[in-house]
Structure 1
Amino acid sequence: MKDSPGVFDLLGVLAYAELSAFARMTDDAAALAPSLADRAALSELAVAEYEHFRLLRDQLAELGADPERAMAPFVEPLDAWHAQTAPSDWLQALVKAYVGEGIAFDFYREAAKRLDPSIAKLVDVVSADEGRSQFAVERVRAALKADPAASGRLALWARRLVGEALSQGQRVAAARPELARMLVEGADDQAEISRMFARLTEEHGKRMAALGL
């Protein structure tokens, strides 16, 4: 159902994820970008995140939900994740934008698979890469070529991002059972759930490999 509590929760968490990503990318572009070209590139990605937020906000309103109310349960856990994973330099910011955001959107796409096709399509649109991978991969790989010793530090950072993301995800799932149920609804058995997590792990591994980590 388009107007089920789980759908409102999914669109609400996505909307706030996009809004907060816009704010964080804007801050990182201003504070950490080593050049004006890099600042402009990350700012363009931030603008794309804001456009995604607008799409989700409008869809919630169209379904009869209050967008602010739909986002409210996710403000604290997502803000906490951002606070706990604030990058200290440009390379950490790029890895966070690519790896941290990537695994989160993988979960959202999994949750949307069994929804009304129009909602699933919207989730695919707003979780699209928007050039994030090429931008991050090119710059991180170039930095690692210049300083191979940075690889270990960034690999540890990526693992921390994923660990914090999973921890916050568990908090959200416990607080919003309708959203958690969407991840496993329709799964025939534990084997399907295991396959889902295998897909998530595989996608994360591909991103790490792409970065050279």
Structure 2
Amino acid sequence: METSDNAASPTAPAVRDWAAAAVDPQYRAAVVDLLGALAYGELSAFERLAEDAKLAPTLGDKAELAKMASAEFHHFEQLRNRLTAIDADATAAMEPFATALDEFHRQTAPSDWLEGLVKAYVGDSIASDFYREVAARLDGDTKELVLAVLDDTGHASFAVEKVRAAIEADPRVGGRLALWARRLMGEALSQAQRVVAERDALSTMLVGGVADGFDLAEVGRMFSRITEAHTKRMAALGLAA
């Protein structure tokens, strides 16, 4: 994405602090949307990892997932505290995203331990890529927080290690997990596209404040970058994209 030093633009990426950027009501609404979506995502990740821990085959695996769940909840707390600090109601900010995210998790409920690992690795990574794209348009203060809560909690390397070991032990597992990952990719991209399309302030900020709505070409390039990153992660897992 190109950057701009035009401080008059409400969408100039990461060139001002929050106090200066928030003067624009559309920008403020976009940030509240973003933090609300992220907060609910982190809360859902905490719940999901706690549930996945029940499927863990060993006590050590259970403990690792519990540690990751704790890290996700800490991220949620950071986002909730930030929303409170900018005089936004955290619950109200999360509510517009709850139904779609809950539906995504309902449609992609894993049937076993390995599917749960792949879902966390693939699904969460796609969401993180999307939010990092948005972060390029943020003021410096908000961008720092967003990138901090998107930090890997250790799930990526843990998932790669466990999935590759399972495929090595039984190569037939790879085909099933590859199909599962492709399904996750489609569902996650559909969810991200709905967020862009349905939240006007957020979509306008994402593409640089296009007057007549969001630029479909720019959105297309963004999703192409996300897809490319997904392909690399699949290779890391030992799966075909």
Q: Which TM-score applies when normalising by structure 1?
A: 0.93
Q: Of 48, 52, 65, which aligns to 1:42?
A: 65
Q: How does 1:53-202 map to 2 (within 5 A)?
A: 53-185=76-208, 192-202=218-228
Q: Of 36, 41, 47, which aligns to 1:12?
A: 36
1:203 deviates by 1.2
Show the counterpart of 1:212: 238
Q: How many residues align?
A: 212
**Greater C-alpha Rg:** 2
1:197 deviates by 2.6
CA distance in 1, matches of 2:226, 2:206: 12
Q: What amino acid sits opposite 1:209 in the alignment?
A: A
1:169 deviates by 2.4
1:194 deviates by 4.3
For the Cα contact (< 8 Å) 2:130–2:192, is it kept in 1?
Answer: no
Q: What amino acid sits opposite 1:176 in the alignment?
A: R
1:186 deviates by 6.0
1:132 deviates by 1.3
For the Cα contact (< 8 Å) 2:128–2:150, is it kept in 1?
Answer: yes
Q: Does residue 54 of structure 2 align to residue 22 of structure 1? A: no
1:170 deviates by 2.9
Q: What amino acid sits opposite 2:127 in the alignment?
A: A
1:33 deviates by 0.7
Q: What amino acid sits opposite 2:29 in the alignment?
A: P
For the Cα contact (< 8 Å) 1:18–1:52, is it kept in 2?
Answer: yes
Distance 1:69 1:191, change over 3 A: closer
Distance 1:48 1:197, change over 3 A: same
Q: What amino acid sits opposite 1:207 in the alignment?
A: R
For the Cα contact (< 8 Å) 1:96–1:161, is it kept in 2?
Answer: yes
Gaps of 5+ in 1: none
Give the structure with the higher percent helix. 1
1:183 deviates by 2.4
Distance 1:156 1:40, change over 3 A: same
Q: Is the partner of 1:4 in helix, strand or coil? A: helix
Q: Percent identity?
A: 60
CA distance in 1, matches of 2:98, 2:223: 25
Distance 1:200 1:186, change over 3 A: farther
Q: Which TM-score applies when normalising by structure 2?
A: 0.83
Distance 1:198 1:174, change over 3 A: closer
CA distance in 2, matches of 1:143, 1:122: 36
CA distance in 1, matches of 2:171, 2:62: 24
1:161 deviates by 0.7
